[in-house]
Structure 1
């Protein structure tokens, strides 16, 4: 099964991103530390070309630390990469020094020509619900200092000063038109990057329960009743999802299970694994 869909606003976002790219020095790509490859839009590689890129694995507080270390080691062979949490702020202070380092050579060449140091212009990209707004709030201390009319800005977009030498252009979250691997689509849906309406939530929750059984059975321990098998029915009973006749509302149980997973209540998880 291949999942095909591409909302019109995402097609528009791709066109805007391509047009605005020429105005920036560095692209910051935000990915999910729990799915460091599945949460990266493959179209961005094509669109960004050789533009310098800083990869940030957000939500590292929800991912398995050992796996995050392994992923950073692997990813840094291609481009600079750091882990952080835009919610707690951990790791955010690494960003500006990393950006300054990435443009140092370019600005040194300009200085040789007598050009004064310029503002570092950065574009932030990523899939929906990846935490771009939370990261911007962390970088600005919640007080977003918007910069006046500047090239590259279209209606709804603004340059925001995140540091005395760095200006950032936010972009809408963008997915890609077809998931060749249905497992990638499921991972994105499980972690909330795709709207819940696109998937059958009960089917999605059952797939995730099976994934946990195979890769991380301890994550299901909070739902365990003695040695009984964990199902949406047993989760529903545990969470009080009962309806008339004593039956279990399995849809509500699936919604609770996915919410608890997404917010880290089942413990840290990393779903993209290798080796």
Structure 2
């Protein structure tokens, strides 16, 4: 299942990020806690290079907490890392203290030269629909930026005045031009980073069910009231469709309808707190 999506405005956004980087003190790299590696844009990593950064795993309420802890241990080896929920605001304010710690040395040198303490300038980067606008609203305690439950809502860039002596440059979500890992494209689509219509709902639902058959079979059985799970994914989706009453005339399963239900319930966390990838294991 090959998924590709790279609108032209994303290439422009990447160039703007690179151009504005010299104005920034700390970058907040926002990742989806369910797919931390797949939602980490390698192009952005190349652009940021050695810029000071904070890694924030968002949507932690949807991810397996034990696996999230493993991911935090993994990322903390290279940058300060934390898990947050940008919708509820949980853990969000810790970003201020982490950014303050990262800039203490520069601020101290400025004070020694007789300069006034200036606002710390932040930039937030991440793939579409990872929760950037929600995070900015939480950091500023205001609703100044547009938000939406679909990728590609933030199309321009804007400075947002935050509390506690911080400013933040908002940027659009940026994907990369080609997914070298086909499964990464699938995971991004499952987690809402790719606009609907760029993939087949049925195939994507089958992929998700296949993943859950192996990793979380009991959750599938419990959620859809199934006595057993068919080893055949095609049949299992049909069984779920029958349980949910997704039937057409003649008793045929409406596979498009049940596929949308499965994808929606995963997105809303109704299938449980699920992480789709594990941290790399060092050999």
- Per the alignment, in what secondary structure is the counterpart of residue 179 of structure 1? coil
Structural mapping, 1:5-24, within 5 Å:
5-24=5-24
Contact 1:85/1:92 (CA < 8 Å) preserved in 2?
Answer: yes
Residue 72 of structure 1 is matched in structure 2 by 72
What is the DSSP-based 3-state SS (H/G/I as helix, E as strand, rest coil) of the residue aligned with 1:31?
A: strand
Q: Higher mean Cα deviation, 162-171 or 236-245?
A: 236-245
Selected match of 2:257 from 246, 252, 263: 252
Aligned length: 266
Q: Does the 8 Å CA contact 2:3/2:199 hold for their aligned counterparts?
A: no
1:153-185: CA deviation from partner (whole Å, max 9, x where unpaired): xx9422111213000111001100111110100
Say if 2:273 is the partner of 1:268.
Answer: yes
Contact 1:2 1:180 in 2 (8 A): no
* Cα deviation code 1:182-237 (max 9, x no counterpart): 01000111111111211111111111111111112122121242225262222222
Aligned-residue CA RMSD in angstroms? 1.7
Q: What is the distance in 1 between the residues matched to 2:69 and 2:217?
A: 22
Q: What's the counterpart of residue 226 of structure 1? A: 227
| In structure 2, distance between residues paired with 1:117 and 1:218 | 55
- 1:198 match: secondary structure: coil
2:248 maps to 243
**2-structure distance, mates of 1:254, 1:247:** 14
Aligned in 2, Cα 1:245/1:2: closer, same or farther, shift over 3 Å?
closer
Gaps in structure 2 of 5+ consecutive residues: 146-154
Whole-Å Cα distance in 2 between the matches of residues 94 and 65 of structure 1? 18
SS at match of 2:192: coil
User: Are the counterparts in 2 of residues 84 and 91 from structure 1 also a CA contact under 8 Å?
Assistant: yes
Partner of 2:150: none
Q: Aligned to 1:231, what secondary structure does the other structure show?
A: helix
- TM-score with structure 2 setting the length: 0.89
1:150 counterpart residue number: none
CA–CA distance in structure 2, aligned partners of residues 2 and 78 of structure 1:
31
Distance in 1 separating the partners of 2:194 and 2:38: 12
Runs of 5+ unmatched residues, structure 1: 146-154
Q: How far 1:243 moved relative to its partner?
A: 2.2
- Aligned-residue offset at 1:6: 2.1
Quote the Cα distance in structure 2 between the aligned partners of 1:32 and 1:77. 18
SS in 2 for 1:266: coil
**TM-score under structure 1 length normalisation:** 0.92
Equivalents in 2 of 1:32, 1:143: separation in Å?
A: 22
Deviation at 1:5, TM superposition (A): 4.1
Instruction: Return the structure number with greater strand share.
Output: 1
Between the aligned partners of 2:4 and 2:68, the Cα distance in structure 1 is: 30
Please identify, of 189-198 and 52-61, the stretch whose mean Cα deviation from structure 2 is larger. Answer: 189-198
CA 1:241–1:76 in 2, change beyond 3 Å: closer, same or farther? same
